[in-house]
Amino acid sequence: MRLSRYFLPVLKENPSEAQIVSHRLMLRAGMIKQQSAGIYSWLPMGFKVLRKIENIVHEEQARAGHIAIQMPILQGADLWRESGRYDDYGQEMLRMQDRHGRDMLYTPTAEEMVTDIFRSHVSSYKDLPLTLYQIQWKFRDEIRPRFGVMRGREFYMKDGYNFDLTKEDALHAYNRHLVSYLRTYERMGLQAIPMRADSGPIGGDDTHEFLVLADTGESEVFYDSAVTDLSFGDRQIDYDSVEECQAVLEEFTSKYARTDETHDEAAFHERVPEDRRRVARGIEVGQIFYFGTKYSDAMGATVQGPDGKPTPVHMGSHGIGVSRLLGAIIEASHDDKGIIWPEGVTPFHVGIVNLKQGDGEADAACDSLYKAFEAAGLEPLYDDRKERAGGKFATMDLIGLPWRITVGPRGLKNGVVELTCRRTGESEELPPEQAIAKVVEIYAKH
């Protein structure tokens, strides 16, 4: 994409309404525009990153054997009355009536709807296990929406639901989700720590939430610093193996890590050596639940068991805040100049800066780089504006592309361009072909 033809409404000044880094940088980088409290339009670059995050979630869900569906944003209230949650959920649920006076609601979560789908089409234990998921917009009428997409009223979320014959099978689904989430977050350049959590209005006994450490996190977290040394890496896991998934869960949850809601000070001091005790802030980016037969009992979701008798299915739900993740990545990866995108989610793979737009040799070199990257399957962003070099560098730093190639007449006379890493700030001069090859090699690993 040529920047002269792109819609990137960057701001030079910090917006006064933005209280945290991610909100400020998303507004300044032209990624979002507020429409009303807690509700945003996603502009081209923000939408592009949102899709990158969504695609990673889809890929890792498919790897784990989960099946994508799409459910409506509006639900009828009758299903929620069946489960007993319609009156209990609270004012965060946006309720309304259609033109015929039927009670409706804007989806805050979809346990009831997916249970209805299941009970309508699955009748035998032979069709289990089954995990269905969607990535869909949801709405919760927060009393005080703030922090941009981190705590908005409208948000984009992956919600998955497993259906299993026994508790043991459902707990394997729980472990399988934990493994898939660890891989998902690492692909986005994040270290998300699973922590024992409170189930809230969804219910259930077993639940972990995944938190990214950041100064602006809404939760206080207490943890053993050894958990930050853990990495999923490139290991290959057989998701059908109960033993392998259980081993990963034990590895990543055996060290103490709790939010303030479930923190036990005595256990913290007993289990964690003093030099490894840490207290910080964390951003929740996902949560997994096992809640047994709570919804299947209430809504009659049974299958014919091996003995021929109706058996309530065991269920769990598993969420990832897709739009929230975008803000969390920025909170975890930025500096005083702007965003620093990890390679896995960057909106463009490399920025090309022409120091002397209109110079025939510089223009030709930039065009050649642009075409070479496209031919290699990468997306370059070419700043071809007639703008001063300082302004071009400031824009590139603000939007945070991981790699930048700077092209100017002086370097071209020596047969080189400058390749700069946004994260480290380190630059090196290379012939154009070598710069292209190095960037292509980097992204081949992602």
Residue 377 CB-density burial (10 A; 0-12 exposed, 13-18 middle, 19+ buried): exposed
Q: State the residue for tokens 């946004």.
A: 422
Residue 221 has, within 13 A of its CA and on its CB side, a CA count of 30
Instruction: Grade residue 203 by pLDDT with cuts at 50, 70 and 90.
Output: very low
Q: Which residues contact 12 (CB under 8 A, 6 or more apart)?
A: 28
With both helix axes pointing from N to C terminus, report the angle between 167-187 and 242-253 in degrees, rounded to the nearest 10.
60
- In the predicted structure, residue 77 carries a pLDDT above the cut 50: yes
d(CA 353, CA 269): 53
DSSP secondary structure letters along 102-156: -EEEE-S--HHHHHHHHHHH--BGGG-SEEEEEEEEEE---SS-BTGGGB-SEEE
pLDDT (tens digit per residue) in 118-174: 999 999 999 999 999 999 999 999 888 888 998 899 999 999 999 999 999 999 999
| pLDDT tens digits, 361-406 | 999 999 999 999 999 999 999 999 999 999 999 999 999 999 999 9
CATH (residue range 350-444): 3.40.50.800
Helix H, strand E, coil C: the string for 348-411 is CCEEEEECCCCCHHHHHHHHHHHHHHHHCCCCEEEECCCCCHHHHHHHHHHHCCCEEEEECHHH
Read off the pLDDT of residues 336-362 as tens digits, 9 standing for 90 and up.
Answer: 999 999 999 999 999 999 999 999 999
* Sequence spans of domains, the chain: 7-339, 350-444
pLDDT over 90, % of the chain = 87
What are the residues facing 158 on neighbouring strands? 135, 320
For 42-55, what is each residue's pLDDT tens digit? Answer: 999 999 999 999 99
Strand pairing class (334-335; 154-164): unpaired
Tokens of 241: 């193996």
| Identity of the amino acid at 384 | D
Alpha carbon of 317 to those of 124, 159, 206, 291, 430: distances in Å?
A: 21, 7, 11, 8, 50
Mean pLDDT over 303-324 rounds to: 96
pLDDT at residue 216 greater than cutoff 90: no
Q: First and final CA of the chain: distance in angstroms?
A: 21
Judging by DSSP bridges, how do beta strands 154-164 and 103-106 pair with one another? Answer: unpaired
pLDDT score for 18: 85
Residues whose CB falls within 8 Å of the CB of residue 374, separated by 6 or more in sequence, listed in order: 380
Answer whether 356's CB lies under 8 Å from 362's CB.
yes
Q: Provide the token pair at 210.
A: 């995944």
How large is the average pLDDT for residues 27-41?
95
pLDDT range class, residue 198, cuts 50, 70, 90: low
Please give the DSSP secondary-structure letter assigned to residue 190.
-
Whole-number mean pLDDT of the chain? 94
Q: Which of 12-21, 220-229, 265-274, 278-287 has the lowest mean pLDDT?
A: 12-21
Mean pLDDT across the stretch 269-291? 95
The model carries a pTM of: 0.94
Residue 200: the pLDDT is 55
| Torsional sign, CA 182, 188, 191, 192 | negative
Q: Tell me which residue has tokens 């256990």.
A: 267
Task: Please give the class, per CATH, of domain 7-339.
Answer: alpha beta
